[in-house]
A and B are shown apart, each in its own frame.
With several copies, the nearest count.
Chain A
């Protein structure tokens, strides 16, 4: 828990600064936008957090977003599948990808980095293949389906909650309950820190690992569906490109250790929101956005450094006090 205070502080600081520099930041319209984007990236980040907690990594996530994001409109508008069937297909596809990763990693013991890096190359390539590099989208159709991503739920007068936020809420609550309250969550955490201890305790580590990759790909699939419904078009070459890095960054910022065994869902959400607020800030406050990434990088770095330094100073002060108390006594 302590670990997320730093990042939460950073998020609040960035929000305050942006609000003071731009009147529009706190407008209902802007808040809804930022919430929607944070929700979309939050879903991806929670997925990858599961894998990171087991001590693995999933680099394929952006490509799964791309594959699913291209497949859904392609199935609907080019292949003219009925909506439920198309949705079922992309869900099965993303879960299947996760299963495939999990099996390669557990049964054949191939490093997760390699498996998912190949996935990164492969799935985008497949999407480019079946779409023949064409942009796919819904055009003016499927409006009601698209409400899943673009819809709004009235919250209080003048402020609506974007639909993806509800998805995120459900996913986050399920994930948090799963991790903290169920035996399987416990197994995941144990497996991440000490796979041997987990095995010796009679835990089926393979099944848990596979589960983590299925969750990761599954949520990437959900993210892909929501992204394409929101944006309304997907170009296979760059749809979802680099999203794996954003998601991993959010998870790690939110307190997941890449060594496994640690992670909090709240932290991950804060991490995902931070990235989106930063991007929003840059467009609202500055008139150039080509240094956007530089600023994000710099802020994250400064935040992490500041967090570390305050922690150290606090520890030093505490030590000094203890010593003083001790020598005085």
Chain B
């Protein structure tokens, strides 16, 4: 085997009160895909940021081509050929797609931007990732999934020797993921070293040449190509075997809990969407990036206005002009973009968990501190939120734990209809199972659960029924018996129901 292109030795890093990395080592070779996996908070992102010059390690050495380097800035990392796609989106929303792709590396002559080249090359990389928008489009008008693709295009345009991807697919659907995985294979063939982080073990299984597992800021073991299996990865990550990953059971469905008739959204006003969900049902909603799933949930929850249509919850018509109305009617929405819409990053876990229930638990306008404390005492263990204390600002939690805080906050409202938009985005396997278990429990208690997911495995594993959107249209519905990867994909790409079911 060739010598490592990038190597980290005994890296330690601590933040105020938290030791995120305790002597982690890692090496990646040219033409190799190294998958790094681990539970939420294991230290994956921190390690990657150190490799890419975003953060400095407390102790430990970095070697590039066998030579010791101190990578102190992003610029230095880039000049060494190391590029990082961050776990969280980092785009300047007021700039256009092209400007974001080449931010910091604009082709220029004496400072003068070569706009033509930016646009040409941007179009080329956008084509590679399969995002067909004009480079002049403002980033603020793109969906999360599309923004994620912009991030990938941006990293591709670096032409890096080491490309680090921290959960690049967390908001991509299967279709886009396949495009990305093909890209990765091409890059590998060209000798690029790739570090790939994902909580979707199926992907890891399909792409990785080697797997490195982190646990609690330490190396927990590694697997060579031949050793990679779902069970082996889980065992190293969690330290035990997980039985029955999708705890799905068929539920006796009850009354109609949510009834949607002729709903039109601003994104796709041409298509009226109608469906209903019964109490105790778990319904999955699938579709490609930009299919209009998030917009639909947002309209139901009163975040964006619906152009037309009626919504009934338990038979009572609801006019949700604001989330407040929707909550009063018994709805809850776990939003797709937790950083923007779900969390108060600088506020503590307690304040984030209780914010949606303060109104219910108030004592004539005053905070009910007992209830607030009780809520923390209940949710933090129930959701297995990993936090040093209840006052820790959520910005210092790992992504998965942040997600659990958001779900916990909405669980606390005890909704009748639970809407979840990409509930397991960036969540580790253990936590995923927790969330699935929670969805099951809710359904068993008679809550109607509607979840949007781009993770096909999860859609297949958890749904009683699947609604598939294609460009804003409800293109079909699959019962559990009709469910298959093929069928969902066909409907999601515009095929019709009969051929979809027949094909599988």
Contact = CB atoms under 8 A, between A and B. Distances in A.
A183 B355 CA distance: 9
A182 B361 CA distance: 11
Interface string A168-203: 000000000000011110110110111011111111
B367 A186 contact: yes
B106 to A, nearest CB: 5
A262 interface: yes
Interface string A318-329: 110011011101
Given A190-B344, A201-B323, A322-B14, A183 B93 contact: no
B112 A193 contact: no
B347 to A, nearest CB: 6
Contacts of B264: 323, 326
B366 A181 contact: yes
A278 to B, nearest CB: 29
B128 interface: no
B316 interface: no
B90 A200 contact: yes
Contacts of A327: 59, 308
B307 A182 contact: no
Interface string A244-283: 0000000000000100011000000000000000000000
A319 B307 contact: yes
Contacts of A202: 73-75, 77-78, 104-105, 322-324, 326-327, 356, 359
Given A183-B111, A322-B269, A200 B303 contact: yes
B342 A200 contact: yes
Interface stretch (B30-38, B333-341, B455-463): B333-341
A204 interface: yes
B12 interface: yes
Contacts of B365: 182-184
B384 interface: no
B411 to A, nearest CB: 14
A326 B12 contact: yes
Interface string A63-87: 0000000000000000000000000
Contact of A262 (B58, B94, B322, B362): B94
A78 B366 CA distance: 45
A327 B269 CA distance: 8
B383 interface: no
B409 interface: yes
Residue of A190, A197, A200 contacting most chain B CB atoms (<10 Å): A200
A242 to B, nearest CB: 30
Nearest to B79: A202
Contacts, number: 168
Nearest to B54: A200
B324 A194 contact: no
B94 A193 contact: yes
B95 A201 contact: no
B351 interface: yes
A193 B86 CA distance: 18
Given A182-B111, A200-B323, A201-B356, A194 B106 contact: no
Contacts of A189: 92, 94-95, 99, 347
A255 B477 CA distance: 47
Contacts of B75: 202, 204
Given A193-B92, A199-B323, A202-B78, A181 B105 contact: no
B69 interface: no
B461 to A, nearest CB: 27
A183 to B, nearest CB: 4
Contact of B324 (A197, A203, A318): A203
Contacts of A325: 270
A294 B93 CA distance: 36
B270 A193 contact: no
Given A186-B106, A190-B95, A197 B307 contact: no
Contacts of B86: 200
B225 interface: no
Contacts of A196: 90, 340-341
Nearest to A197: B90
Interface string B283-321: 000000000000000000101000110000000000000
B112 A182 contact: yes
B103 interface: yes
Given A184-B365, A193-B95, 7 more contacts: A182-B108, A186-B106, A197-B100, A201-B323, A201-B355, A202-B356, A326-B270
Interface of B: 12, 14, 16, 19, 54, 58-59, 73-75, 77-78, 84, 86, 90-95, 99-100, 103-106, 108, 111-113, 115, 264, 266, 269-271, 301, 303, 307-308, 322-324, 326-327, 333, 335, 340-347, 351, 355-356, 358-359, 362, 365-367, 409
Interface of A: 181-184, 186-187, 189-190, 192-194, 196-204, 257, 261-262, 318-319, 322-323, 325-327, 329
* 7 tightest A-B CB contacts, nearest first: A201-B104, A202-B74, A202-B75, A261-B94, A326-B270, A197-B90, A190-B92
7 contacts: A181-B112, A182-B366, A182-B367, A189-B94, A194-B92, A201-B103, A322-B269
